[in-house]
Amino acid sequence: MKKMLFGVLFGLAAILGQGCATTQITAFKDPDTGARKLKNVLIVVASSDLRDRMAIEKAIVEKLTAQGIQAQPSTTVFPPTRKYTEQEMRESLAAKGFTEVLFLSPTGSGVTVTGAISQTTAFPGPSAMGVTGFVRRLEKTFQVEIMAVENSKTIWMASTQSAVGRGIGDHEMIVESLTENILAQLKKDGLI
């Protein structure tokens, strides 16, 4: 009976534990930044994966504008179908009045799959233990940096690790967790 109860509780914990995304973030604000607040931010996800790029840029823009900060996704300023020189990019940033650029660079991603062990009740005993389901866990890591446009100095940086284990809707859950946690850290660090 105890083994059966343990199996049921383990299975329930595995199912419930895979439904939400988590993000860990480690950040550092440059001491010379002082009381500076974000004003007009270009959001750049440096990824060739357009789905990630567009979804993350859009989510951060929405969250910043909800805080009263002007923000634009890079795809509206620098279409990904074109090549730009560094000089062209600097001139465009200045001409459009951007004060900061928030860069997100993917540093890793992967999927892990593990089996969930349960016990059948029809034939109790050691042979009744078996793998009956799998838990899929998607992980993505990013390096985040905010650069001041006027002098190209980094004013804030962070490393993030996001994970989710549900399978359906994982991408959207990672984007939501990642962007929520970045914004929370920016608030904590006084940039918002």
pLDDT tens-place string over residues 113-125: 766 555 444 445 4
Pairwise CA distance, residues 29 & 63, whole Å: 20
In a domain, 162, yes or no: yes
Burial annotation 90-99 (CB, 10 A radius, 16+ → b, else e): eeebeeeebb
Give, for 119, the enclosing helix (H) or strand (E).
strand 100-119
Asked whether residue 75 is assigned to any structural domain, the reply reads yes
15 inside domain: no
Looking at residue 12, its pLDDT comes to 38
CATH number of the CATH domain containing 138: 3.40.50.10610
Who contacts 165 (Cβ-Cβ below 8 Å, separation ≥6)? 17, 18, 19, 135, 136, 137, 138
Residue 13 lies in a domain: no
* Residue 16: inside a domain: no
Query: What is residue 166's predicted lDDT score, i.e. its pLDDT?
Result: 62
**Pairing state of beta strands 22-29 and 100-119?**
unpaired
User: Is 164 part of any domain?
Assistant: yes
Of 190, 186, 187, nearest to 34 (Cα)?
190
Q: Which of 173, 144, 161, 171 is nearest to 50 (CA)?
A: 171
Q: What is the extent of the structural domain holding 176?
A: 2-8+22-188
Is 64 inside a domain boundary? Answer: yes
How much is the pLDDT for 95? 94
Residue 20: its pLDDT value, please?
Answer: 85
Tens digits of per-residue pLDDT, 154-165? 999 999 999 987
The total number of structural domains in the chain stands at: 1
